Structure 1
């Protein structure tokens, strides 16, 4: 049993008062660089849509930028919301990231709407929105 503690960060790219979305994304990348220097193991980014106070609408792009600006920290999504996207396309995008940054990319997926209903409908257009019941439940689910 190892006594080593593994630390991670989850960052939502918040837009601070007086700041811009660009500032928030730049600050997320700088935070990743700082925690890497401190020895953290992983850096996770979150996906949010249609919220002015969060800049992270596209985790796959932000993950690539973070990985390109760091050397060793693992970088991942704190949940790509599958109801909005083709699962095959998500797999291809993350395979590409893994090809560019071998051994450093993590894919976290989710099935929640992740936004208000109008935004969720816009993200899935032109196909109908998938209900969360479309996706399998975790084996760890309690009855």
Structure 2
């Protein structure tokens, strides 16, 4: 039975992104040497405990660091990406690593970015009882430039 690895790329206590990326490459090399069939990279955004937000970039590094194992995205959330760009990126990866690249697709309509920062269950403020929803400048995640909210 073919076995695969699914890597969420979790940060260990005290580790930074570079260390987590190095760990991913080490696990991928070990899985390749042990004869595993596929190495899946998960896509997660706004998850402080996971480093797997740039799936295609990580896949390119894993494929370059290994010889035989298939490398896949498990999966690319299409609402977060332009389909043409996804097709071009995976076509390019396949050209560099023929027969070793897999694409898993998903949807993430619940993602906060797609809601424009609005809550899942919007409510109407009661005049005089609750402040209006925040507008204007909001605090971005660490390392990201500020943006204007709608």
Give the shorter-chain TM-score range: 0.7 to 0.9
| Residue pair 1:13, 1:24 contacting (<8 A) in 2 also | yes
Q: Does 2:88 match 1:92?
A: yes
Q: Which has the higher strand share?
A: 2
| Residue pair 1:81, 1:114 contacting (<8 A) in 2 also | no
How do 1:110-129 and structure 2 match up within 5 A?
110-113=106-109, 115=111, 117=112, 119-120=113-114
Q: Which has the higher helix share?
A: 1
Change in 2 beyond 3 A, CA 1:21/1:113: farther
Which TM-score applies when normalising by structure 2?
A: 0.73
Q: Which residue pairs with 1:62 in the alignment?
A: 58
Highest Rg: 1 or 2? 2
Q: Which runs of 5+ in 1 are unaligned?
A: 123-143
Change in 2 beyond 3 A, CA 1:49/1:120: farther
Cα-Cα RMSD: 1.4
Q: Quick one: higher RCO (CA 8 Å, sep 6+), 1 or 2?
A: 1
Which TM-score applies when normalising by structure 1?
A: 0.77
